[in-house]
Amino acid sequence: MTSTPDSSGPLKPAVLPRAVELGLIGALVALAIVSWAITGDRMQGMDAGPKTDLGGLGWFVGVWVVMMAAMMLPSIVPMVLMDWRIRTGKGERGRAGAALGTTLFTVGYLVAWTGAGVVGHALFESLRALELAFLAWDAGGRFVAAGVLLAAAVYELTRVKDAWLTECRAPLTFLRDAWRPGSAGAVRMGIAHGASCIGCCSGLMAALFALGVMSIGWMALIAAFIAIEKLLPWKTVATRGVMAVLLILAIAVAVAPEDVPGLTVPDSADGGQAMDAMGTRN
């Protein structure tokens, strides 16, 4: 996903003072921690497993945006740091201008994920509205959930996944290709990076829906997978490891879902309580 580079000159990342780098990292981590706390409060008692009711679109989008901030901000630290370094190197309206541009870049990133959440909500609720008998958990529902997990595992091995992940792991290359000047350009670049991230993480997010999108535990696991794949130096080892875990989960959900730690089995007592809790918050 490239766009016309800024014609004002080559992108030369500046060397930031250590205090500035640590401050930026600290701000992103702090925002993620706050988002985790808010998410935990909003979603408490609402995990009904694979059959979780997503609620109304407005309510869901509000929760989803905070979820994405919690899950994704730590893994985009290298990209945000590089964006700030480039803006500083270009002397983009001084330190305040660089801070504003990088903030808008991050906002654009979350805008892209907001769009993905809206699409996910529409697809999930459309499928539920069909009321297909085979989706009942005691019929074929658990095999459908297992199939989504299996597809997510297979996706880890595809060239498409590898291409998106490679782009996400190369901040300087991405920013050189996608650079746009100004505030509007910063937002557009953030949206472009968000789109790359969605392509990279789509399988993992589908797995989250299959396990229970309102589960803090499964959220934490998927967020850990995303960070491992984006931040660790061993890309192949990371993707193969994530693939193996997803494959194990797929088999376990199909064969013995009640024995999967942290999985709320639909139509169980816990699942019923979660659906009731969701009904009071829609």
Is the model's pLDDT at 204 over the cut of 90? yes
Backbone angles phi, psi at 144, to 5 degrees: -65, -45
pLDDT 10s digits, 140-193: 889 999 999 999 999 999 999 999 999 999 999 999 999 988 889 999 999 999
| Residue 36 binned pLDDT confidence (cut-offs 50, 70, 90) | very high
| Cβ–Cβ < 8 Å for 39, 66 | yes
Instruction: Please give the residue that has the higher pLDDT: either 12 or 67.
Output: 67
| Residue 10 binned pLDDT confidence (cut-offs 50, 70, 90) | low
Is the model's pLDDT at 2 over the cut of 80? no
Q: Six-digit token pair at 226? A: 């995303």
Is the model's pLDDT at 8 over the cut of 60? no
pLDDT 10s digits, 242-263: 999 999 999 999 999 999 999 9
**What pLDDT does residue 99 have?**
85
Q: What residue has token string 């730590």?
A: 74
- Cα–Cα distance between 179 and 188 in angstroms, integer? 9
**What pLDDT does residue 153 have?**
97
| Residue 5 binned pLDDT confidence (cut-offs 50, 70, 90) | very low
Question: Mean pLDDT over residues 226-230, rounded?
Answer: 96
| Cβ–Cβ < 8 Å for 264, 270 | yes
Q: HSE on the CB side for 183, CA within 13 Å?
A: 4
Is the model's pLDDT at 35 over the cut of 90? yes
- Cα–Cα distance between 236 and 110 in angstroms, integer? 27
**What pLDDT does residue 57 have?**
92
**What pLDDT does residue 9 have?**
56
pLDDT 10s digits, 52-107: 888 889 999 999 999 999 999 999 999 999 999 998 887 665 677 788 999 999 99
**What pLDDT does residue 163 have?**
95
**What pLDDT does residue 90 have?**
75
Q: HSE on the CB side for 42, CA within 13 Å?
A: 21
pLDDT 10s digits, 110-150: 999 999 999 999 998 888 888 788 888 888 889 999 999 99
> Across the chain, what does the average pLDDT equal?
88
- Cα–Cα distance between 276 and 46 in angstroms, integer? 8
**What pLDDT does residue 272 have?**
54
Q: Which of 81-85, 131-135, 194-198, 273-277 has the lowest mean pLDDT?
A: 273-277
**What pLDDT does residue 12 have?**
78
Q: Write out the H or E segment, with its range, that includes residue 94.
A: helix 94-129
